Amino acid sequence: MRMDTVIMGGGLSGLTCGIALAKRGKRVAIVASGQSTLLFNGGSMELLGNIDGKAVNAPLEAIAALPQDHPYSKIGADRIAVLADEARQLLADAGISMEGSTARNHWRITPMGIAKPAWLTLSDHLRLDDLNNLPAKRVALMCIRGFFDEPNGMLEHGLQGLGLEVKKVEFTTDDITALRRSPSEMRASSLAKHLTSNNALKRLAEQINTLAGDADMVLLPSVLGQNDDSDVQMLQGLVSKPLRLVATLPPAVAGMRMQTLLRHYFRMLGGNYLMGDTAVSGAFDSDRLASVTTAKLGDMPLKADNFVLATGSFISRGLRADYERVYEPVLDLDVDADSDREQWTRFGVLEPQAYMRYGVATDGNLHCLKRGKPINNLHAIGSVLSGHDAIKMGDGTGVSLLTALAVAHDILA
Amino acid sequence: MAESMQLCNISDNNFEQCTKCSICTTVCPVAAVTTDYPGPKQAGPDGERYRLKDPAYYDKMLKLCLNCKRCEVACPSGVHIADIIQQARMTAGQGKRASLRDTMLANTDLLGTMANLVAPIANAALGLKPTKLVMDSMMAIDKHRTFPAYSRTKFETWYKRHAASGQEAMPHHVSYFHGCYVNYNFPKLGQDLVKLMNAVGYGVHLLDKEQCCGVALIANGLYKQAKRQGTVNATSIRRSVKEQRRTVLTTSSSCTFNLRDEYPAILDIDTSDVRDSIMLATRFIYNLVDEEEIKLIFKQDYKRRIAYHTACHMQRMGWQIYSIEMLRMIPGLDLVELEQECCGISGTYGFKKENYERSQAIGSTLFKSIEEAKVEAVATDCETCKWQIEMSTGLPVENPISILADALDVEATRRANGLK
């Protein structure tokens, strides 16, 4: 089967790159082995959140000072602002409405109640632009009875630490109580599926309006809007005070919404999304990749002019490790990783971990390297790239979006 | 040493590789509409740990699983979640007899053979309100359902009378596993395939012996009978592939998935040596065009807007790309790819009275998106999705092979492929 471009990996970077190419009329296939880590995303994108443990205020300036091996440096620090605007537009075109600025980070609130720097946050989720000028004085934190995915006490404590007066309100509705019959159903994604009818949303709004008291903002766990933001907008219309969603533990409804909308947009543009398939090997023709074989398409490999590796990091199996080495499992590409296993990890789970920076080795144009030589029609994008650290630097989603767009431009040039 | 120890520690159904991320539960169509079903993570890998300790931990609510396999498709860790659930059901069901209703629904070929003999009477009777009410109350087959009409002439009979003699003269050859639906209910699909393949120089042959693939038998717990029939099919397929050098084509995604993947996974019938030679006709045809081995010429005046629905087992096989790209080759066809949602019928599941409401609730998202697509017909590779979508939306549903055959300029195609 012949395509213009074949993308291995169907998460944030793969879909972004696929959309950018399909929009320009290219025939694109995305091979997506299962759902992606986007489902762990609580509704925010970040460009650069931290340097050496300190929060970054102005990400563009900080990016200019990053080392040469960081993916942003390879794209070119001067292009970041333009690509970031383009990414935001692409998300908006897909129906994902987000707010924020590249000039100055805002704060997102994690389910544990910790404020972390972010670039974009979903318009219906809690966002703090300035910790010295909070959007509310008193907030009502609506806690769903029996709900698994929100550690309410920690969230309350965290919000109080930021200077908010928090009124914790436990509540339920008939629709929610019905779900408690099955203990495994009290998860964010299950609630989002069951709280979709107009009547269920009206009952939810009634409870909130009755119990929110004198708060000037209502916070509700992110349990609405799995496919788009229409349910949230309806609830916001029914609640008398400003209402914002707060991130829950994963799988996150916000991430599911973003994944669904991006995939839908890609399909609308004529893209082929091969859900549940996995690239298993490739055939090389001197310095080019000629075709990729997948588990499901079997003896009919995918041929293309260009290939993109967007298979993610260890958690998505884009990188693997055994007792001897770290490796890239599909094409056995060169990886940047310590050969000494002792160096991979450090004691203390919250300490910076070297393996988080491991990834596929690339040249200055993000072409993958195999035995030291660049493969001229194979780029790597997103979390599979080396030289960045999504956890400690807060640059994961930004690297995914921006490397995807930079590579799409390179392919289209 | 260390590496082999790691490999030894993984079961056949790899339930140890579950990272408890819960993504499977977010895509489960059953958990989305009922709290009675614990969801695939709980029913599959989590429950398996308990069941290994003591089989008494088996939860009878596992019967609500549709076996749609969407959990497996979504799993980022490649765990065979639905297989774990199927195997648990199989173990728990050992020694129990299936009900008359389940046996009847499962034996699609037996039912078909009887109905074909009296097709006009059977169709009329099955469509009558009193019959439906009797079936509803006595057999728990939901009264809202309409049984697919039975054809008067079986596909095999038509083939022997009208098509068989012309096949040997063709330059290339394939076999056709037609399945019960084509044989008893809708021979036209088989006729369309013969027309299409003959137009590009391929003779179509029946297998030595074809029996029902057994997908409905497995779903209804009749494993022994499924294995018996599966063994007969595997022998016929092996002869076609190994001795006659003929690829075995199919036109039903569920039969195909069953022959290729459920035979070894559920029935322990090894088909690995011929698996690559069993495929949907859309995949075979797309590849021939892609490799420029054949040419298809389409009618000039063909113009339709059609939505494509990816059946669950089609998604599990990952082959929708062939049907979609094949349909996109038709110049006058405006194709809308629908979001991949379960239609809720899942073979015989939706026919059962106790499942009817759940079945319709599961399909409601899909029906809405079909309505919004403003199309004149829906294309899908699965016959039971066809019944469900036709009943629930009122739109005609066609197999991609029939659409292709309909759009094809047969004479021009024959000439373009060097046939007289």
Alpha-carbon span A63 to A47, nearest angstrom: 9
Alpha-carbon span B188 to B182, nearest angstrom: 7
Unique residue bearing structure tokens 């009409």 = B149
Question: Cα torsion for A362, A365, A368, A372, to the nearest 10°?
Answer: -60
List Cβ<8 Å contacts ≥24 apart for B146-151: B146/B387, B146/B391, B148/B181, B148/B185, B148/B186, B148/B383, B148/B387, B149/B119, B149/B123, B149/B185, B150/B112, B150/B115, B150/B116, B150/B119, B150/B122, B150/B123, B150/B184, B150/B185, B151/B116, B151/B119, B151/B184, B151/B185, B151/B186, B151/B187
Contact A323 B77 (CB under 8 A): no
Selected residue with higher pLDDT from A221 and A349: A221
Contact A34 B27 (CB under 8 A): no
Alpha-carbon span B187 to B9, nearest angstrom: 49
Contact A185 B77 (CB under 8 A): no
What pLDDT score does B58 carry?
Answer: 87
Chain mean pLDDT for chain B: 89
Pure H helices in A116-197? 152-161, 174-179, 188-194
B300-324 pLDDT, tens digit per residue, is: 999 999 999 999 999 999 999 999 9
Q: Tell me whether residue B228 is exposed, middle or buried, using C-beta atoms within 10 angstroms of its C-beta: 0 to 12, 13 to 18, 19 or more.
A: middle
What pLDDT score does B397 carry?
Answer: 97
Is B386 strand, coil or helix?
A: helix
* pLDDT > 90 fraction of chain A, expressed in percent and rounded: 92
Q: Which residues of chain B lie closer than 8 angstroms to A33, CB-CB? A: 76, 78
Asked whether the beta carbons of A10 and A37 are under 8 A apart, the reply is no
Contact B286 A1 (CB under 8 A): yes
Would you call A39 an interface residue with chain B, using a CB distance cutoff of 8 Å? yes
Q: What angle do CA A276, A280, A281 make, to 5 degrees?
A: 150
Using CB atoms, pick whichever of B35, B321, B339 lies closest to residue A178. Answer: B35
Q: Which token pair is A68? A: 């040469």
Unique residue bearing structure tokens 């609510």 = B61
Selected residue with higher pLDDT from B132 and B308: B308
Would you call A237 an interface residue with chain B, using a CB distance cutoff of 8 Å? no
Q: Which residues of chain A lie closer than 8 angstroms to B77, CB-CB? A: 34, 317
Phi/psi for B172 (5° steps) reads: -125, 165
Contact B319 A296 (CB under 8 A): yes
Contact A267 B290 (CB under 8 A): no
A70-121 pLDDT, tens digit per residue, is: 999 999 999 999 999 999 999 999 999 999 999 999 999 999 999 999 999 9
Alpha-carbon span A64 to B152, nearest angstrom: 76
Domain boundary among B78, B93, B108: B93
Using CB atoms, pick whichever of A33, A275, A323 lies closest to residue B315. Answer: A275
CB pairs under 8 A between A and B: 108
What pLDDT score does B376 carry?
Answer: 97
Asked whether the beta carbons of A143 and A212 are under 8 A apart, the reply is no
Q: Which amino acid does the sequence have at A49?
A: G
Domain boundary among B93, B127, B161: B93
Alpha-carbon span A407 to A76, nearest angstrom: 12
Q: Which residues of chain B lie closer than 8 angstroms to A300, CB-CB? A: 283, 287
The architecture of the domain spanning A2-100+257-412 is 3-Layer(bba) Sandwich (3.50)
Q: A34 — alpha (psi -120 to 50), left (phi > 0) or beta?
A: left
Note the pTM of the prediction, 2 decimals: 0.93
In this structure, is residue B7 part of a structural domain?
Answer: yes
Would you call A34 an interface residue with chain B, using a CB distance cutoff of 8 Å? yes
Q: Which amino acid does the sequence have at B419?
A: L
In this structure, is residue B351 part of a structural domain?
Answer: yes
Whether B215 has a pLDDT exceeding 70, the answer reads: yes
Q: A387 — alpha (psi -120 to 50), left (phi > 0) or beta?
A: left
In this structure, is residue B56 part of a structural domain?
Answer: yes
Using CB atoms, pick whichever of B74, B317, B340 lies closest to residue A35. Answer: B74
Would you call B25 an interface residue with chain A, using a CB distance cutoff of 8 Å? yes
Give which of A187, A189, A299 to mutate to test B binding, by max B Cβ within 10 Å.
A189
What pLDDT score does A216 carry?
Answer: 95
Helix (H), strand (E) at residue A6: strand A2-8
In this structure, is residue B16 part of a structural domain?
Answer: yes
Contact A272 B325 (CB under 8 A): yes
Q: Tell me whether residue A176 is exposed, middle or buried, using C-beta atoms within 10 angstroms of its C-beta: 0 to 12, 13 to 18, 19 or more.
A: buried
Cβ neighbours around B18 below 10 Å, total: 21
Would you call A36 an interface residue with chain B, using a CB distance cutoff of 8 Å? yes
pLDDT band at B6 (very low <50, low <70, confident <90, very high): low
Task: Give the residue numbers spanning the domain of B337.
Answer: 304-407
What pLDDT score does B118 carry?
Answer: 66
Helix (H), strand (E) at residue A244: strand A243-246
Whether A22 has a pLDDT exceeding 60, the answer reads: yes
What pLDDT score does B1 carry?
Answer: 55
Alpha-carbon span A297 to B319, nearest angstrom: 7
Using CB atoms, pick whichever of A184, A267, A298 lies closest to residue B276. Answer: A298
CATH number of the domain within which B80 lies: 1.10.1060.10
B225-264 pLDDT, tens digit per residue, is: 999 999 999 999 999 999 999 999 999 999 999 999 999 9
Is A10 strand, coil or helix?
A: coil
Asked whether the beta carbons of A280 and A294 are under 8 A apart, the reply is yes
Whether B62 has a pLDDT exceeding 70, the answer reads: yes
Helix (H), strand (E) at residue B333: strand B333-337
Strands A115-118 and A106-109: antiparallel
Domain count, chain B: 2
Asked whether the beta carbons of A143 and A150 are under 8 A apart, the reply is yes
Would you call B23 an interface residue with chain A, using a CB distance cutoff of 8 Å? yes
Alpha-carbon span B91 to A332, nearest angstrom: 41
B310-361 pLDDT, tens digit per residue, is: 999 999 999 999 999 999 999 999 999 998 899 988 877 877 888 888 889 9
Residue A274 makes CB contacts below 8 A (sequence gap 6+) with A10, A29, A30, A31, A32, A294, A296, A297, B318, B321
Q: Which B residues in the span 297-336 are in contact with A, Cβ-Cβ below 8 Å?
A: 315-319, 321-322, 324-325
pLDDT band at A54 (very low <50, low <70, confident <90, very high): very high
A277-305 pLDDT, tens digit per residue, is: 999 999 999 899 999 999 999 999 999 99
Domain boundary among B93, B113, B146: B93
Would you call A189 an interface residue with chain B, using a CB distance cutoff of 8 Å? yes
In this structure, is residue B308 part of a structural domain?
Answer: yes
Q: Which amino acid does the sequence have at A298?
A: G
Whether B47 has a pLDDT exceeding 70, the answer reads: yes
pLDDT band at B8 (very low <50, low <70, confident <90, very high): low
What pLDDT score does B347 carry?
Answer: 76
Alpha-carbon span B74 to A33, nearest angstrom: 8
**DSSP summary character for residue B44:** I
Alpha-carbon span B236 to A293, nearest angstrom: 29
Q: Which residues of chain A lie closer than 8 angstroms to B38, CB-CB? A: 182, 184
B388-397 pLDDT, tens digit per residue, is: 999 999 999 9
Would you call B140 an interface residue with chain A, using a CB distance cutoff of 8 Å? no
Asked whether the beta carbons of A265 and A95 are under 8 A apart, the reply is yes
In this structure, is residue B204 part of a structural domain?
Answer: no
Q: Which residues of chain A lie closer than 8 angstroms to B316, CB-CB? A: 276
A115-147 pLDDT, tens digit per residue, is: 999 999 999 999 999 999 999 999 999 999 999
Q: Which of B65, B7, B57 is nearest to B41 (CA)?
A: B65
Q: Which residues of chain B lie closer than 8 angstroms to A274, CB-CB? A: 318, 321
Whether A68 has a pLDDT exceeding 70, the answer reads: yes
Would you call A251 an interface residue with chain B, using a CB distance cutoff of 8 Å? yes
Asked whether the beta carbons of B351 and B145 are under 8 A apart, the reply is yes
In this structure, is residue B54 part of a structural domain?
Answer: yes
Chain B: residue whose CA lies nearest to A179: B35
Whether B138 has a pLDDT exceeding 70, the answer reads: no
Q: Tell me whether residue B374 is exposed, middle or buried, using C-beta atoms within 10 angstroms of its C-beta: 0 to 12, 13 to 18, 19 or more.
A: exposed
pLDDT band at B139 (very low <50, low <70, confident <90, very high): low
Q: Which of B279, B209, B287 is nearest to B246 (CA)?
A: B279
Contact A185 B39 (CB under 8 A): yes
Q: Which amino acid does the sequence have at B241?
A: V
Q: Which of B166, B164, B162, B170 is nearest to B418 (CA)?
A: B170
Alpha-carbon span A28 to A12, nearest angstrom: 16
pLDDT band at A221 (very low <50, low <70, confident <90, very high): very high
Q: Which fold has domain A126-246?
A: Rossmann fold (3.40.50)
Q: Which B residues in the span 158-217 are in contact with A, Cβ-Cβ below 8 Å?
A: none
Would you call A271 an interface residue with chain B, using a CB distance cutoff of 8 Å? no
Q: Which token pair is B160? A: 């022997």
Mean pLDDT over residues A6-22, rounded? 98
Using CB atoms, pick whichever of A189, A267, A274 lies closest to residue B26. Answer: A189
Using CB atoms, pick whichever of A181, A187, A300 lies closest to residue B287. Answer: A300
Radius of gyration of chain A (CA): 22
Q: With b meaning 16 or more CB within 10 Å and e meaning fewer, what string describes A196-209?
A: beeebbebbbebbe
Domain positions in chain A are: 2-100+257-412, 126-246
Alpha-carbon span B177 to B37, nearest angstrom: 35
Mean pLDDT over residues A365-389, rounded? 97
Q: Tell me whether residue A299 is exposed, middle or buried, using C-beta atoms within 10 angstroms of its C-beta: 0 to 12, 13 to 18, 19 or more.
A: exposed
Cβ neighbours around A300 below 10 Å, total: 22
Q: A220 — alpha (psi -120 to 50), left (phi > 0) or beta?
A: beta
DSSP letter string, A286-299: TTEEEEEEETTTTT
What pLDDT score does B350 carry?
Answer: 79
CATH number of the domain within which B346 lies: 3.40.50
Selected residue with higher pLDDT from B8 and A154: A154
Q: Which residues of chain A lie closer than 8 angstroms to B287, CB-CB? A: 1, 300
3-state secondary structure string across B16-29: HHCCCCCHHHHHCC
What pLDDT score does A328 carry?
Answer: 98
Would you call B27 an interface residue with chain A, using a CB distance cutoff of 8 Å? yes
Selected residue with higher pLDDT from B96 and A352: A352
In this structure, is residue B348 part of a structural domain?
Answer: yes
Q: Which residues of chain A lie closer than 8 angstroms to B337, CB-CB? A: 267
B276-286 pLDDT, tens digit per residue, is: 999 999 999 99
Contact A322 B3 (CB under 8 A): yes
Alpha-carbon span A307 to A366, nearest angstrom: 12
Using CB atoms, pick whichever of B2, B21, B35 lies closest to residue A182. Answer: B35
